[in-house]
Homo-oligomer: A and B are copies of this chain.
C-alpha cells in the first residue's frame, strides 16, 4: 500500500542500505543524512513493511493470545476483554502487535503448534490454565517464550507465570465470614478444571478446616461463571434444610446472579445473608459507587494484563533467562454485603 524503502531511497538518491540505517539509528550515517531521511520518510508517510522486516530480522514483532472457547458451552470469559486491553497497552508501547486466536478446546494444541511453526508470533500468553495443563510442556518443548496468566497445579517443569494469590484471598474471605459468626458458608466457583478455581476452593476449605468445619458438598457449586448458573445454584442452596448464611462467589457476574437469587428469596445481602465476591475490577462492572456494594477480594485483571505483557517482553529480550514469576496479592475490601450471622449466638464482646 504505502511507499517502499527502495522508492524512498531513490527519491533521496541514496542506497537502501543507508536509508535503512538512518531510520534504525545506526551510527554509520551522518546526522545530516539521517535527518534528511527521517524528514522524507515522514513526508512520504513511509512505514517499513511488517512482513519484509520480520522476514529479514527473523522476528514477528507480535504476541499471540489463544483464547479458548469451552466446546460445549461456548462461553467467552468476559475478563479476557479487560486482560487483553491491559496487555495491548503494553504491546502498543513496545511496538508489538497482538494476534488473537479464538479456538475450541480440542484444537488448542494444533493452534499453538501452528502459530509457532509458521512464525506468526514471537511469544505467547497462556490463558485459563488447567491442572497439569498440557500447553506448558508443549510450549516449553517448542522453545517459544510464554507467560501463563495463572498457574497450573501439578506441572513439574518451571515456567513463567503471573498469578494472583487465589488461595490466600479466598482463605481470608472465608475466615472473615467465620469471624462474623457464619458457619454455613457456600462457594459459587468457576469450573474446577481451571487452576484458579482449584486454588480458591482450597483456600475456602482450608479456612473452614482451621475452624474445624468440613466443607459441605451441598454448599459448593462449580461451573461456567454465568449469571444464570449462579442464580440457579444459589436458589437450590437456599432451599436446603440448613441453607447457607453466607456466600463466596468467584466473580462479579456470579455475584450478580447470586444477588438476584437472594432478592427473589426476599433476603437482603449484608443483613440476612453475607456475600463476598471476587472482583476483577472489570471496567464496566465497577463496584465502587462511593462505598462498594459487594465486600470483595479484589485485583485488577487489566493490570495483570499489563504486567503479563511486560514479563513476556522481558523474557523475549533474553530467552535464556530463568522463568519469571509474580504473585499479586489480592485486597479484601469491605462493602455492604457482609454482616454478622443473624442466626449465630452473639459473640461475647
Contacts and interface: CB of A to CB of B under 8 A. Distances in A.
Contact of A226 (B98, B143, B283): B283
A48 B120 CA distance: 10
A224 B285 CA distance: 11
Question: Which among A46, A117, A253, A263 has the greatest number of chain B C-beta atoms within 10 A?
Answer: A117
Interface string A279-320: 000111110110001000000001000000000000000000
Contact of A55 (B55, B60, B81): B55
Contact of A81 (B51, B78, B114): B78
Contacts of A329: none
Contact of A283 (B76, B118, B260, B286): B76
A89 interface: yes
A225 interface: yes
Contact of A103 (B46, B52, B73, B92): B92
Contacts of A260: 259, 293
Interface stretch (A16-24, A152-160, A227-235): A227-235
Contacts of A6: none
Identical chains bound together, number: 2
Main secondary structure of the interface of A (DSSP, over half): mixed
Interface in A226-271: 226-228, 231-232, 253, 256, 259-260, 263
A42 to B, nearest CB: 12
Contacts of A253: 284-285
A134 B89 CA distance: 23
Interface string A117-131: 111100000000000
Interface string A78-101: 101110110011001000011111
A143 B226 CA distance: 42
Contacts of A15: none
Q: Looking at chain A, what size class is its interface with the partner chain? A: 35 or more
Given A143-B1, A144-B1, A84 B55 contact: no
Given A100-B88, A226-B284, A76 B69 contact: no
B116 A284 contact: no
A241 to B, nearest CB: 24
Interface of A: 1-2, 45-52, 54-55, 60, 62, 67, 69, 73-78, 80-82, 84-85, 88-89, 92, 97-103, 113-114, 116-120, 142-144, 224-228, 231-232, 253, 256, 259-260, 263, 282-286, 288-289, 293, 302
9 contacts: A45-B113, A55-B55, A77-B81, A77-B284, A84-B100, A89-B102, A92-B101, A98-B102, A100-B100
Given A78-B78, A97-B120, 13 more contacts: A1-B143, A46-B117, A49-B118, A62-B99, A74-B283, A76-B82, A76-B302, A77-B284, A78-B81, A92-B103, A98-B100, A226-B285, A232-B289
